[in-house]
């Protein structure tokens, strides 16, 4: 039995296939990239939060000026000493 397919696929058929192929491979590349980025990202909400580090980052971003930084740093140090803990950033971890 012979099948008649006409003139084959028209130009819009080729266009749809080409766009579909680009979209498919783009999706594959994006999925691999997103998976790799998720593996490199540190887990959030785990471990202790270091207030001194947050304070350093705020100074680096320009959210606070050096005077405010010194005031808050001293406040953090005095709160740790008042509670019987080692001052933040002193390296003594209990």
Q: Where are the domains of the chain?
A: 10-39, 51-82
Q: Supply the DSSP symbol for 89.
A: T
What b/e string do you get for 63-78 counting C-beta neighbours within 10 Å, with b at 16 or more? eeeeeebeebbeebbe
pTM > 0.75: yes or no: no
Model confidence over 64-80: pLDDT tens digits? 999 999 999 999 888 76
Q: Which residue has the higher pLDDT, 74 or 89?
A: 74
Examine the pLDDT at 90 and tell me if it is beyond 90: no
């Amino acid at each position: 039995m012979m099948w008649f397919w006409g003139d084959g696929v028209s130009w819009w058929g080729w266009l749809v296939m080409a766009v579909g192929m680009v979209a498919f491979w783009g999706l594959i590349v994006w999925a691999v990239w997103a998976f790799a980025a998720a593996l490199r990202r540190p887990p959030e909400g785990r471990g202790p939060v270091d207030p001194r580090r947050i304070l350093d980052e705020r100074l680096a971003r320009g959210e606070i000026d050096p005077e405010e930084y010194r005031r808050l740093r001293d406040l953090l140090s005095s709160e740790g000493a008042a509670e019987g803990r080692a001052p933040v950033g002193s390296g003594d971890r209990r």
